[in-house]
Amino acid sequence: MPNESHSKVVLVTGASSGIGEATALRLAAEGHHVVIGARREDRLSAIATQIRDKGGSVDTRVLDVTDRHDVAAFADGAVREHGRIDVIVNNAGVMPLSRLDSLLVDEWNRMIDVNIRGVLHGIAAALPHFQRQGSGHFVTVASIGAHEVVPTSAVYSGTKFAAWAITEGLRQELDPAIRVTTVSPGVVESELADSITEPGAKEMMRTYRANALPADAIADAISYAIGQPAGVDVNELIVRPAGQR
């Protein structure tokens, strides 16, 4: 566990399940103060209770990442409460996979709103604070879908390619005192595939997702990236189950 001087204020979006939940639990156990956001208040409260029962430090905030004002209030509230933000993990995401000819346009738009706009809203919310502080760390949870496209993943992969590109652009533009990491998970146990409505894609995912990492494996990668000394910027990590091709 880090001593107080290494304890960071870490914001995590999409922290009510899966990778975000595991990251919040891991970072809180390491002595960081976590501020967890998502839409499901009951889940956030249960996770916060778990963290506090183990002696950890946490705030919860109900937010929808598609609403820029919600995300701005998430960051501003943390700064008001704790005086700074050290890390924002832009993790919230949805994956209703489908073939393009199914024309599930509302689901395409949902992915664009959450997976791209959500990341941008996180950047817009934290960047002014990081610039004022002269330090900070953006972590984007992209996907192996940021590196490859398969049938049914066109729009999801498109959003994750975009998240990758935006994060890489951020890295190039920013003062080096602000660090930037993209973590791209392969298959991980979570609720992510529950949003798939197209029967063919649902069936395909049942096989594809049979070999999955625990979400804690991605929490490990995020913990590694943010735990490096200030001059070390871990820009990209791809973490897959060993058997995933």
Ligand X SMILES: NC(=O)c1ccc[n+]([C@@H]2O[C@H](COP(=O)([O-])OP(=O)(O)OC[C@H]3O[C@@H](n4cnc5c(N)ncnc54)[C@H](OP(=O)(O)O)[C@@H]3O)[C@@H](O)[C@H]2O)c1
Residues with catalytic roles: 156
DSSP-assigned letters across all residues of 54-113: TT-EEEEEE--TT-HHHHHHHHHHHHHHHS---EEEE---------GGG--HHHHHHHII
* Interface with ligand X, residue 143, by CB under 6 A: yes
Q: For the CB of residue 176, give the shortest distance to ligand X in the complex, in Å.
A: 26
* Interface with ligand X, residue 157, by CB under 6 A: no
* Interface with ligand X, residue 153, by CB under 6 A: no
Nearer to ligand X, 60 or 190 (CB): 190
The residue range among 25-33, 60-68, 79-87, 166-174 that interacts with ligand X, by the rule CB under 6 A, is: 60-68
* Interface with ligand X, residue 158, by CB under 6 A: no
* Interface with ligand X, residue 167, by CB under 6 A: no
* Interface with ligand X, residue 58, by CB under 6 A: no
- Both structure tokens of 211: 């070999």
Please provide residue 57's backbone torsions phi and psi, each rounded to the nearest 5 degrees: -125, 125
Residue 22 CB partners (closer than 8 Å, separation 6+) = 214, 215, 216, 218, 219
Neighbours of 114 (CB within 10 A): 21
Closest alpha carbon to 245 in 160, 159, 147, 141: 147
Q: For the CB of residue 44, give the shortest distance to ligand X in the complex, in Å.
A: 7
Nearer to ligand X, 135 or 220 (CB): 220
Q: For the CB of residue 225, give the shortest distance to ligand X in the complex, in Å.
A: 15
Task: Return d(Cα 40, Cα 43) in angstroms, integer.
Answer: 6
* Interface with ligand X, residue 190, by CB under 6 A: yes
What is the binding site for ligand X (CB under 6 A)? 13-20, 38-40, 43, 63-66, 91-95, 114, 141, 143-144, 185, 187-188, 190-192
